[in-house]
């Protein structure tokens, strides 16, 4: 979507660039999404890294989730660890005042841009503002009505998006349709429907 992108050495690796520069992905299935200007490398499959600003470190273990909303973040060296940065220099935090993380089965809607919602189970509400990040590790996800929203599904089912520039990434087996031609949809497995 921008002007420059780094190399990938394995087929199927998903890298989405919204701005000007991105590091390399050396294993298939690793997801790197850059909305700002600089991103480090991902050396293991399945690692999810989302950068909304200008600087991010490396992820060396599969399954590690990194989300950076500010300017600096430490590394995550253990699988499944979640590091979220809302400011300018901190480690892992689950502060409910700034970050919404749900480890169970239901999540309410978010109405402000840039809000982070992570669901590890089976259902998630809607995001009505652009830039909202929603990551679902289970089986169902709601809709987004604004462009630029990022939705990542690690399970088997995903809803529709009605605005261009929405990013959908499906790591499972099926995906529904998108109504705008500029929407980005990537399927890492076996089936995709609609256009």
Q: CA-to-CA distance for 140 and 135, rounded, in angstroms?
A: 11
Residues 63 and 24 in one domain: yes
Residues 100 and 195 in one domain: yes
Residues 70 and 135 in one domain: no
Q: What is the mean pLDDT of residues 130-153?
A: 47
**Closest C-alpha to 121, from 100, 94, 139:** 139
Residues 27 and 60 in one domain: yes
Confirm if 86 and 103 have CB atoms less than 8 A apart: no
Q: What pLDDT does residue 133 have?
A: 53
Q: CA-to-CA distance for 77 and 138, rounded, in angstroms?
A: 23
Residues 87 and 132 in one domain: no
Q: What pLDDT does residue 4 have?
A: 39
Residue with tokens 């929203």: 149
Confirm if 41 and 22 have CB atoms less than 8 A apart: no
- Full-model pTM: 0.32
DSSP the chain: --S----B-STT-EEEESSS----B-STT-EEEESSS----B-STT-EEEESSS----B-STT-EEEESSS-B--B-STT-EEEESSSSB-----TTT-EEE-SS----B-STT-EEEESSS----B-STT-EEEE-SS----B-STT-EEEE-SS----B-STT-EEEE-SS----BSSTT-EEEESSS-----
Residues 73 and 111 in one domain: no
Residues 120 and 77 in one domain: no
Q: What pLDDT does residue 49 have?
A: 55
Residues 112 and 31 in one domain: no
Residues 77 and 63 in one domain: yes
Q: pLDDT over 90 for what percent of the chain? A: 0
Q: What is the mean pLDDT of residues 180-191?
A: 40
Q: What is the mean pLDDT of the chain?
A: 43
Residues 173 and 89 in one domain: no
Confirm if 134 and 127 have CB atoms less than 8 A apart: yes
Residues 102 and 89 in one domain: no
139 band by pLDDT with thresholds 50, 70 and 90: very low
pLDDT over 50 (residue 151)? yes
pLDDT in tens, 6-45: 444 433 444 444 333 444 544 434 455 544 434 445 444 4
| Domain stops at, among 59, 93, 127 | 93
| Domain stops at, among 93, 126, 145 | 93
Domain hosting 36: range is: 1-93
Residues 129 and 158 in one domain: yes
| Domain stops at, among 93, 109, 140 | 93
> How many structural domains compose the chain?
2
pLDDT over 50 (residue 150)? yes
Q: What is the mean pLDDT of residues 95-120?
A: 41
């Amino acid at each position: 979507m921008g002007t420059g992108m780094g190399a990938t050495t394995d087929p199927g690796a998903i890298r989405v660039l919204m701005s000007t520069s991105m590091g390399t992905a050396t294993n298939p299935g690793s997801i790197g999404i850059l909305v700002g200007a600089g991103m480090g490398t991902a050396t293991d499959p399945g690692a999810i890294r989302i950068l909304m600003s200008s600087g991010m470190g490396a992820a060396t273990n599969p399954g590690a989730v990194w989300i950076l909303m500010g300017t600096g973040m430490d590394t995550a060296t253990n699988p499944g660890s979640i590091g979220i940065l809302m400011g300018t220099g901190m480690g892992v935090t689950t502060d409910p005042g700034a970050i919404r993380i749900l480890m169970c089965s239901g999540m309410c809607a978010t109405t402000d841009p840039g809000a982070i919602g992570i669901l590890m189970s089976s259902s998630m509400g809607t995001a009505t503002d652009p830039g909202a990040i929603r990551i679902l590790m289970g089986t169902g996800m709601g809709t987004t009505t604004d462009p630029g929203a990022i939705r990542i599904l690690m399970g088997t089912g995903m809803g529709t998006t009605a605005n261009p520039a929405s990013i959908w990434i499906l790591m499972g087996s099926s995906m529904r349709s998108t109504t705008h031609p500029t929407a980005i949809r990537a399927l890492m497995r076996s089936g995709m429907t609609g256009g």
